[in-house]
Structure 1
Amino acid sequence: MRLTPSTRNSLFWLLFILNLAGVFWGFIFFYGEQFAQTTPALWPFLPDCPLFALLFALALISLKARISSNLFSFFVFAGSLKYGFWTVFVLSAYTHFYYQTPFQSFLSIALIIAHIWMCLQVFLLASLIKVKSWHLAPVLGFFLLSDYSDYVWLTHPIAPQSALPFLFPFTIALTLLATFGGYWVLKNAKRPLLRIV
């Protein structure tokens, strides 16, 4: 789909601002208390979705400035898929935990919509990322370390305790699917769905 330069530029900055808003909202309102209770050494593994909203915004800027790293962009692509899908699944599967009040219900539905978009928006960049086979190891390694941190060192997002024995292997499966599936998508992406950079 062809856009005029001004429309493309407007869409680019809209995406950038929306992701920065997600960063602020996530870091302050969802992870603020967890940061206070977690040792700083584990902070890189704490704010999954806000972190990848921030990284997506940085990926947009780097692509626009023609200084992008394909490894970094692949990391952002796979991470956005993984954590976006994880959030949608968990909020949909454990309604008894996340929908206890009208406000919680509203918030959970808003988060589902935002995280569906988080999964979809990275496909706008797919044809611009030239992924290499060696990219798989560092990306997979970080995600597996993050999964270990989440369920062994307990840096996972707020979730029902009874769900953790299932969520640990489920999250590892998502790591494999997002990393190898993302690699396959990027290898086969030929033309942009919508050119924004």
Structure 2
Amino acid sequence: MLYIRDWLMHRSFLILLLIVNVIGTIYGYIWYGPQLSETPPIFLPFVPDSPTASLFFVFVLIAWLRHTNWPFIEALAVVTLVKYGIWAVVMNMLVLVVTGQLGFAGWMLVISHGAMAVQALLYAPYYRMSFIHVVVAAIWTLHNDVIDYVFGMMPQYQMLSQYTQQIGYFTFWLSIVSIAVAYIFSRRH
């Protein structure tokens, strides 16, 4: 177990993970480009869910490379990585069920978003967040759900539009589970 811990926090591995997450974040913002061009400015921070989650983790990695912790960012990272990692996997699997197919981009989203959730969990022992940090992340995340499903700013999956209410309900409970995961991690310190 000590070997895995040493490997996960090895400077070279953290730099590699940082590079991968920066590339994924940039790609994510590009993927959201068409939707962002139609988004009212007040909602812009809340629309690109997954790239913002990986951006939070980019800042966590930068902090760790500087031998420090930024607990508010850690809480935002863990909640959003778990939530949007799982959410995108489930939505793409739903696309597969509804349409009977999932192209290369869909499978790439399944793999990359699954990895987002896994990295959030793998790094749990290194977070230094407390209850108040998780509360702030919870407010951000639940507010984002309102922006998405009350104001209609959710990610655009046209082939799933008939399931918007059910997806909104699922998303709310996924937020609660992700917040609970962060809370459990925060109790370790």
TM-score by structure 1 length? 0.85
- For structure 2, which runs of at least 5 residues remain unmatched after alignment? none
Q: Aligned partners of 1:143 and 1:121: how far apart in 2?
A: 19
Q: Report the aligned-residue RMSD.
A: 2.1
Which residue of 2 is the match for residue 12 of structure 1?
Answer: 14
* CA displacement 1:103-148 (0-9 Å, x = unmatched): x511111110111110011233211222322223221111111001
Q: Report the CA distance between 1:87 and its aligned residue.
A: 0.4
Which residue of 2 is the match for residue 174 of structure 1?
Answer: 174
Residue 43 of structure 2 aligns to a residue whose secondary structure is: helix
The residue type equivalent to 1:131 in the other structure is: M
Give 1:136's match in structure 2, choosing from 131, 134, 139. 134
Q: Cα–Cα, structure 1 residues 183 and 43, in superposed 2: closer, same or farther, change >3 Å?
A: same
Q: Give the ranges of 4+ consecutive aligned residues of structure 1 lying more than 3 Å apart after TM superposition.
A: 96-100
Kept in 2, the 8 Å contact 1:99–1:108? The answer is: no
Which residue of 2 is the match for residue 194 of structure 1?
Answer: none
Q: Cα–Cα, structure 1 residues 85 and 67, in superposed 2: closer, same or farther, change >3 Å?
A: same
Q: Aligned partners of 2:186 and 2:21: how far apart in 1?
A: 22
Higher relative contact order (CA 8 A, sep 6+): 1
TM alignment of 1:105-124, pairs within 5 A:
105-124=103-122
TM alignment of 1:1-197, pairs within 5 A:
1-2=2-3, 8-28=10-30, 30-95=31-96, 105-159=103-157, 160-188=160-188
Q: Aligned partners of 1:36 and 1:99: how far apart in 2?
A: 30
Identity of aligned residues (%): 26
- Bigger drift between 173-182 and 80-89 goes to 173-182
Kept in 2, the 8 Å contact 1:26–1:49? The answer is: yes
Q: Aligned partners of 2:32 and 2:98: how far apart in 1?
A: 18
Residue 84 of structure 1 aligns to a residue whose secondary structure is: helix
